[in-house]
Amino acid sequence: MNKVLVLYYSRTGNTEKMANAVAEGVKSGGNAEVELSFHVQADDLSVYDAIVVGAPTYHHDMPVDFKNLFEEAAVQGISLKGKIGAVFGSYGWSGEAPKMILEIMKYKFEMQVIEPPLLAKYTPDQAVLAACRDLGKRVSETLMNRT
């Protein structure tokens, strides 16, 4: 069975709501085991078939924990090539963190990314949460079609 990591950071709870909906969507695909977490070690990334990151934007930037995680993965030479990647996140005024992480996944780690990143301004409403479930299902379906 495929393993999917839904990794998120949430100070206000908005991105956490989105992460839970993404995890529900992955589960609904019936093809993957999903782990919902707010922290992993860089060397743990290689055990997942798909990595979905929930990154809010604070002060026009991604959370420092994610910067450190990807930097450590690069320094250790951890290969994520060909793994499925997707990104979502909430924001108040700019929303660039998910875009930056998607670019890191795509260009630095050569992951197969689902574009564009899913963004929610402030608190995600029911439509955004439905889009999050759809994103999770799409990750699961992409994994199913690869195997």
Q: pTM here?
A: 0.96
Tell me, yes or no, whether 109 lies in a domain: yes
Q: What is the tally of structural domains in the chain?
A: 1
70 falls within a domain: yes
Phi-psi region of 84 (alpha: psi -120 to 50; beta: other; left: phi over 0): beta
20 domain residue, yes or no: yes
- Render pLDDT for 8-67 as a digit per residue (tens, 0 to 9): 999 999 999 999 999 999 999 877 999 999 999 999 999 999 999 999 998 899 999 999
Q: CATH no. for residue 97?
A: 3.40.50.360
Asked if pLDDT for residue 147 goes beyond 60, the answer is no
Range of the domain at 9: 2-142
Q: Residue type at 147?
A: T
User: According to the model, what pLDDT value does residue 70 have?
Assistant: 97
Phi, psi for residue 134 in degrees, rounded to 5: -65, -40
Within a domain: 147: no
Tell me the two tokens of residue 66: 């994610």
Residue 112 belongs to some domain of the structure? yes
Q: Would you say residue 39 lies in a domain? A: yes
Give me the pLDDT at residue 29, please. 85
Gap between the Cα atoms of 138 and 141, Å rounded: 5
Q: Count of alpha carbons within 13 Å of 136, Cβ hemisphere only?
A: 31
Domain-embedded: residue 134: yes
pLDDT of residue 117: 97
For residue range 102-144, list pLDDT tens digits in order: 999 999 999 999 999 999 999 999 999 999 999 999 999 999 9
Query: Residue 62 falls within a domain, yes or no?
Result: yes
